[in-house]
Every structure is written in C-alpha cells, then in structure tokens.
Amino acid sequence: MVEFNHDEEKYVREKPQRNWRSFLFSSLIGAVIGALLTVFALPYLSEQGMLPYSLQVIESRGGQRAAEQGGAVRNVSVNVNNEVTQVVSKVSNSVVGVINIQKTGVWDEDSEAGTGSGVIYKKNGATSHIVTNHHVIEGASQIEVSLNDGTRIPAKLIGSDKLMDLAVLQVNSNKIKAAADFGNSDKVKTGEPVIAIGNPLGLQFSGSVTQGIISGTERAVPVDSNGDGQPDWNAEVLQTDAAINPGNSGGGLFNIDGKVIGINSMKIAESAVEGIGLSIPANLAIPVIDDLEKYGEVRRPYLGIEMKSLGDIASYHWQETLKLPSNVTSGVVVMGVQPVSPAGKAGMKELDVIVEFNGDRVYDIVDLRKKLYTKHVGDTVKIKYLRSGKEQTTEVKLSLSKLGS
C-alpha cells in the first residue's frame, strides 16, 4: 500500500509538468502556422482590394545563408497610404484657421473673441481669397488667418452675407501654398464618403480631419436672420455624419477627389442627437462668393416690405381684420411698405396679403423669399394679393436687395 501510494503521489505531481510542455509545444506550432498564414494571406487580400492599405512584396536573393540554401528573402512592407490620406495631403494646406479679434471696450486692448475655419479657394498673383462663415467673423475689428504650419497673417474682410452665412477674406499670397478647387455638389450622392477638415475647439486642434459619409442632400434648415424668433429663410444644406464641432465652422467638406463640395456651417447639438453635421453646398455657395468678391455684398432683388406669414397671425384676424375669404389659409401679410421701394411704387399697402408670386402660389415668408431670390435685379414680376378680401394684381420691378425686405 505504501509503495502504491508513493507511485500515485509521484504521478500526480509530475502530471502538471507534462501538461506545461504540451501547452508550450502547441503554442509554438500555432504561432508558426499563424505567421505563415499572415505572410501568405496578406498579399492575396491586398491584391483583391480587401485591405484599407496596400502591401508591396519585395523579393531579393541576398545574404550568405540565403545564397547557400538557394532561397529567396521576402520583405513585406506595409503602405498605409489610401484615398483619404492622399486627399488630406493634397488639400490640408488650403484649410486655415480664422481668428476673430474684437475690442471689448474703449480702453481695452484687442482680444480674440473666437476662432473658426476657412478654405483658400483662389490664389491669384499677389492676393488669395478665403471663404468662411459669416458668424465666424461677425463683429470683428481685426481678422487673422492661421496657416497649416502655424503662421499667422492679417486678413481683410471683402464682404459677408448673413442669410447664407458666408464671408470672403483676402490675404497676401506670399505665404499661401495651395488653393482648393470646388466640386459639383449637385452630383453628390447619399452614402458618398466625405472628409471634413477644420479646427474644432480652436487652433489647439488645427487641421483636424474627420471622415464620414453624406447622410442626406437638399436638407432644409429654418434660419432666423433678423433675430425676431421666427424663421424667415430655409437654408439648403448637405447632411453628413463626419464630426463637425465648434471651430469647424467655415472649414471644407471634401469629396474623395479632394474637391470642396460644401462649407461646414453648423451642427445639430442636442443630447439625443449624434452625428448630424450640416454643410452649405458648393453650388449654392459659389454665386454668393462671386457676389461678395465683386461687390462686397450679395446683389439680391427685394420688394421693400415688412412681412409676416399668415400662419403666424391669430386666425381671429383673418376674417375680422384682413377680411379674407374662408378658403385662403396661407400667404404673406404685408406689415409695412417702404414708400420708394419696388412694392411701394407698385401701389402695395399695409395689410395686403400676397397669395401668388409670378403665377406660383405663396405659402409663407420662406416660400416667398425662395421665389424672390431666384429672380434678378431689374426683373419685373406679377404679384397677386388680397386687399380687404378683394383680389388684385400688380407688376413690380425688382431693385437691389436690402436683407429682410
């Protein structure tokens, strides 16, 4: 019994040692097989385009040992360049920081009131032009631009437009390295990959790159341009899930070809919302940029009236004050008329209710402005309106815009 117990005890103690050796041998075999699979599988996956990077296999017959065995040495190098890194390398110098400098008091020195982003879109001789957002430079007494290498240069405001939230700056070209090209935003498709470049949270994170897709096109976002709490314009924007944060405003939204398809403008910031960034489409921005560059303002036609959507007026006044027929439920109410304005010259008066513009039904202020801004200064349009419930028509010759009229 004693010897049996002794042998049994010896067996029990030696068993873990044999398990450890088996485990080590199995691990070694697994590592070798895994390495061989990696060496031979990665080049195949790269050739099939199944990797986000490319592999370059270099074969050489060098080394004394390889020569003796008659074998080949395979050097596998990983090339991490892909379409995104190529775009960033191409356009990063065209994205800049925009610093809004303001004087807070009569005796105070100028200080930075905020920072945003901008895109150099033109380098022409001694001067270059940058597009950014109106709200980035609003109220600035001075403006500076921070280039990709950290160099800061002064900038001159050429013009800005509050309605489209765009502004054009001019700088000296001697330190400008590159300018970006605009793409055709009308051809952008939902699901298309895009890259946003800007300065989120200030210059500390300048040149930050985020990647995403186009989540939606032709999104309409209500805009209150005059601060009365009522939307008076619908901004048409591109929606993307590429991260856009404070400081990104005015930066570029680039397609995979490195073309600017949008100017990043805003983000829907609510606790229940994630990944909704908005960008002004390039095709809508270009005419505004051209006007700002040439005239310092956007040359829009205007009527010369103060307006209010019929839907924003208590229904009690529809019949009692405006004398509207019961079938009229939409339109724009004239709250005031400038005497020498196009509308004033055409005979329009306070409390007229505009129901048609050039043959098209008018629903509200946003709708009327959208129709109005498709016309040009000098065009003549027909306006149908109701005065004390009676339908009238007049012709209005449009003149140069004054925002909100």
Active centre residues (catalytic): 135, 165, 249
> Tokens 């006007």 correspond to what residue?
291
Provide the 8-state DSSP code for 109.
P
Cα–Cα distance, 78 to 258 (Å, whole number): 24
Q: Is 345 exposed, middle or buried (0-12, 13-18, 19+ CB in 10 A)?
A: middle
How far is residue 168's CA from residue 54's CA, in Å, rounded to a whole number?
A: 40
Task: Tell the residue number behind the tokens 């016309």, with chain if given.
Answer: 375
Nearest to 95 by CA among 119, 116, 129, 127: 119
Strands (E), 199-243: 208-223, 233-240
| SS3 category, 202 | coil
Q: How far apart are the first and last CA of the chain?
A: 111
Nearest to 230 by CA among 313, 131, 150, 107: 313
Alpha-helical (H) ranges within 92-235 are 134-137
